[in-house]
Amino acid sequence: MALRQFGAAAAVTVALALATPAYAVTEIQWWHAMTGGNNDIVNKLAEEFNASQSDYKVVPTFKGSYPDTMNAGIAAFRAGSAPHIIQVFEVGTATMMSATGAIKPVYQLMKDAGEPFDPKAYLPTITGYYSTSKGDMLSFPFNSSSMVMWINKDELKKARCGRNSKNLAGSVCCREEA
């Protein structure tokens, strides 16, 4: 009998010694409004991050249009089940900030985490849009749209168009050249 109890105790001890502790992966819910190719990029970013480490798993979830995603986030916050990260369109920044306690401003998040953060890494017009009057950034500009105009100088020259440096931002204007 004692031998059987000893054997059972030894088996349990060996099993516990050989067992590795199971660590739970922290799941991070990321709600977004990206469709088509942009959705593919969001999924790829999450997949690459997830493959780069084993402590966290980012789960991107398409929640509909920009307003639908923002409304889903507000409703989830009110219900006590908000996602960890939510992508809200530019105009939604003010709406989210006015929902007291719904979000943590990015400048505060980075400070609390001890992570370096330089708002000057973004275009000044983008930084200004997402910041307080004191310059504190409220959110990250994940996919802010900025107008870009590409010109073909050779084609403009053929069309006898020139550049008038007096126009705002060096706008291109066409004129007859002598």
pLDDT digits (tens, 9 = 90+) for 121-158: 888 888 888 888 888 888 888 877 767 777 777 876 77
Tokens of 39: 């959705």
Enter the DSSP assignment of 113: H
Report DSSP letters for 96-109, one per residue: HHHSTTS---HHHH
Q: Could you tell me the CATH number of the domain that includes residue 69?
A: 3.40.190.10
The answer to whether residue 39 sits within a structural domain is yes
The answer to whether residue 108 sits within a structural domain is yes
Same domain as 153, residue 141: no
Residue 129 sits in which domain range?
Answer: 104-146
pLDDT digits (tens, 9 = 90+) for 61-115: 999 999 999 999 999 999 999 999 999 888 888 888 777 778 888 899 999 999 9
Region of 96 on the Ramachandran plot (φ > 0 left; ψ -120 to 50 alpha; else beta): alpha
Total tally of structural domains belonging to the chain: 3
Same domain as 109, residue 94: no
The answer to whether residue 159 sits within a structural domain is yes
Measure the CA–CA gap between 120 and 177, rounded to whole angstroms: 41
Same domain as 96, residue 110: no
pLDDT digits (tens, 9 = 90+) for 5-64: 444 444 444 444 455 555 789 999 999 999 999 999 999 999 999 999 999 999 999 999
Same domain as 30, residue 98: yes
Same domain as 90, residue 53: yes
Region of 100 on the Ramachandran plot (φ > 0 left; ψ -120 to 50 alpha; else beta): beta
